[in-house]
Amino acid sequence: METATAIVRGVFPDPVEAAGTILDESQRLTEVVNGLLMLSRLENHLTAIELNPIQVVEITSDCLGRRDTLAMQKGISLSLNEEDGEAFAMERGELLESVLNNLLANAIRYAKEHVSVTVRSEGSHVLVLVADDGPGIAPEDLPHIFERFFTGPGGNFGLGLAIAQGAAHYMGGALTAANREEGGAIFTLSLQAAPPSGS
């Protein structure tokens, strides 16, 4: 609306610049709307879900690969530590991807130089840990980090982490956040372990 008003008032004499601004704002609005719709479906269990044994490292590696370009542009290196490369968990592929994509985007946003992802088995669970070497999470922000519309310094819409936690819960898992002793933040996704598909 503000951009349209500015165009009418002649603030944007260049129609290409005006169109670009409108497109950017439309994309941002679409992201917010899609995020809210996903949260609503997750919170109200409006999407039927069938959990299957899925190899966690495979999906994690794919998500990291899709973030390579963004990380390189920001001078951030990514690494995957496969402490249990054969770990299977009960999950739904697109939901796990949603969790990982949001966690990786968040980690890359705040990292100074490096983001590491570790996959390990622990008892009856498979853990995926996403750690960065950034400033960490302010103590006063930590209790609110997964709340809808809560944004820390440099955040966007305050929906990404809320969606990630909602998806984790929907799969019967858990997602927590903490600060690392050596600096930076670490997010831990815990999923119910499962035998390999077909076994």
Please tell me the pTM assigned to this model: 0.76
| pLDDT, greater one: 134 or 27 | 134
Q: How far apart are CA 37 and CA 187, in angstroms?
A: 24
Reply yes or no on whether the pLDDT at 77 is more than 50: yes
Mark out the alpha helices in the chain (DSSP H runs): 2-8, 15-43, 56-73, 93-110, 160-170
Cα separation of 107 and 115, whole Å? 7
Confidence (pLDDT) at 3: 47
Cα–chain center distance at 189: 11
Alpha carbon dihedral 56, 61, 63, 66, in 10-degree steps, equals -170
**Residue 34 scores a pLDDT above 80:** no
The DSSP code for 144 is G
Can you read off the two tokens belonging to residue 115?
């983001």
Greatest Cα-to-Cα distance within the chain, rounded to the nearest angstrom: 67
Higher pLDDT, 42 or 160: 160
- Residue 43, pLDDT > 50, answer yes
